[in-house]
Amino acid sequence: MAKAVSSYWVTRQSQSTKQATSGQRDQGARSAVTGGAQMDGFINLITELILEAGIKEKHIFHNSALELPGFFRPTKEWDLLVVRDSQLLLALETKSQVGPSFGNNFNNRTEEAMGSALDLWTAFREGAFNKTIRPWLGYIFVLEDCDGSRRPVKVKEPHFKVFPEFVSASYAKRYELFCRKLVRERHYNSAAFLTSEQNTGLNGNFNEPTEDLAFLQFAKSLVAHVSAYSD
């Protein structure tokens, strides 16, 4: 996991430097987002786990052929798929957020994840793929550990009260709650949530705020599912 975290920060730093020297730097932290590939370390780690679980490499897709049919849209591109014998076994979504615009991006991130899950499960219900096997759906989220993500955030309640767990919750806490609720409401089979400070993250340092969203639990769920269909 430390290797994946280090890869994330090194890639972001490299992309920011490259855009700065080219004179085409995007605004704010977006410069390190538009280049893509930040989460490749996590994709590679998951791929290794799937291979060790007995799934052959030819069934794993993480560089191309990542589109799945949707119900509300024609297709959605996932970060990693496992497809064997015309059966979707696994679909993975990986996301991250780095400051300073936590408020502007929180709703976008949550809406993306909820929408992707709704689209997939509705398409599954309608027979877009698989007739017997229920695929495993996973979500990994990396959040920058900094003052902005740890600071309590006020909520606006002009008409109705928000759920109490959101009162004065930081963005870090909001993301933790979000990942947990994604699993409890069965939108995703498992979710992993971790935080990492930019400077120490370059060395692979990270935190897992809660045990139920720790990567070990995530990996156990994933491996238990795919190993049942090993070659």
Whether 7 is covered by a domain: the verdict is no
- Whole-number pLDDT of residue 29: 46
Whether 5 is covered by a domain: the verdict is no
Regions of the chain where pLDDT drops below 70: 19-36
Among the listed residues 54, 214, 73, 48, the one whose alpha carbon sits nearest the alpha carbon of residue 140 = 214
Whether 20 is covered by a domain: the verdict is no
- Distance of alpha carbon 78 from alpha carbon 63, whole angstroms: 10
- Whole-number pLDDT of residue 153: 95
Whether 1 is covered by a domain: the verdict is no
Whether 153 is covered by a domain: the verdict is yes
Whether 139 is covered by a domain: the verdict is yes
Question: Domains in the chain: how many in total?
Answer: 1
pLDDT one-digit tens code per residue, 4-52: 999 999 999 888 777 666 555 555 444 334 345 899 999 999 999 999 9
What are the φ/ψ torsions at residue 229 (nearest 5 degrees)?
Answer: -120, 25
What are the φ/ψ torsions at residue 139 (nearest 5 degrees)?
Answer: -140, 125
- Whole-number pLDDT of residue 32: 36
Whether 133 is covered by a domain: the verdict is yes
- Whole-number pLDDT of residue 18: 72
Of all helices (H) and strands (E), which one includes residue 227? helix 215-227
Q: Which domain holds residue 197?
A: 41-227
Whether 49 is covered by a domain: the verdict is yes
